[in-house]
Amino acid sequence: VPTDVTVVASEVDGTVIKTSVSAGDVVTTSTGIVKLSNPDLQQLLADARSKVSAVEVDNEASNAQLLDERVNRASAVSEAESALAVADAELKAYAPLYKNGLVGALDYRKVNMRLEQARISKKASVDRLRQFDVELEARKKLSVEKLAQAQEQVLRIQQRIASLEVRSTTPGMLTKIEVTPGQHIASGVAVAEIIGDGLKADIQVAQSEVDRVVRGASVSLSFPQGTISAHVTGILPRATDGQAHIL
């Protein structure tokens, strides 16, 4: 009597291509049992890989555009700084002239206004560049996340495709295979049954032979499929129809 029975089920839909083992075979963890085919999964994988490529191309184009935009904004800051330097030099040149009465108050005021406008222009261009840098980092992060999501989808589909080879989840002996080549099965359908290493046998022996058996004794059990080594775990105290039960 099996004490540990494991039912192996398919994790994906598919059509059985072949069975890799037979009932009675000993399997280990991850032994291939059944191979399935699912063209839809292969198409999904191709589509997912195309999506990754498209995202990569889109990210590359977007990054190039953003880089050009930052160069333009940085150039605007440089131009504003140059204009400010010119306005500052102009005021310094006008200051002694105005002090000595060589230029009028109106002209001097205009020079001061140009300097103030240059300062405002520079601050605005610097602020725009800083704001753009914040947006740039956010866009880069979004691009990375978008690509990661597309790549993760590829990995998920690859894992499903890997599941097209249904494998044993535990060591033991394969007792039955529930599917045949050409059969279409859905996810969750049982494909095989495995009994673990733990087996329990209820053996009937003549009451007259019970005294020859002791708890813990090593025994050999012969079956058509072969011989199994075991040990006695218990002897039922009562006999049935002259037969004693040994476990």
**CA diameter of the chain:** 140
DSSP label of 12? S
pLDDT reported for residue 68: 95
R_g of the chain computed on alpha carbons? 42
Q: Determine the average pLDDT of the residues in 128-138.
A: 95
For residue 73, what are the CA distances in angstroms to 2, 89, 133, 137? 76, 24, 10, 15
Buried b (16+ CB within 10 A) or exposed e, 201-221: eeeeeeeeebeeeeeeeeeee
Q: Which one-letter amino acid corresponds to residue 80?
A: A
Q: Determine the average pLDDT of the residues in 84-98.
A: 94
- How many helices (H) and strands (E) would you count in the chain? 2, 13
For 213-243, how does the pLDDT look when each residue is reduced to its tens digit (9 = 90+)?
666 677 776 655 456 666 666 665 554 555 5
pLDDT reported for residue 207: 67
Token duo for residue 169: 């989840």
SS (HEC) of 81-143 = HHHHHHHHHHHHHHHHHHHCCCCCHHHHHHHHHHHHHHHHHHHHHHHHHHHHHHHHHHHHHHH
The β-bridge relationship of strands 218-223 and 226-231 is antiparallel
- Of all residues in the chain, the percent with pLDDT exceeding 90 is 66
Average pLDDT value over all residues in the chain: 87
pLDDT at 64 > cutoff 50: yes
- List own/partner pairs for 219-227 with CB under 8 A and 24 or more apart: 225/24
Helix (H, G, I), strand (E, B) or coil at 16: strand
pLDDT reported for residue 198: 57
165 backbone dihedrals φ, ψ, rounded to 5°: -100, 105
pLDDT at 244 > cutoff 70: no
Q: Which residue has the higher pLDDT, 206 or 65?
A: 65
pLDDT reported for residue 24: 85
pLDDT at 1 > cutoff 70: no
pLDDT reported for residue 4: 75
DSSP label of 162? H
pTM of the model: 0.66
DSSP label of 21? S
pLDDT reported for residue 53: 97
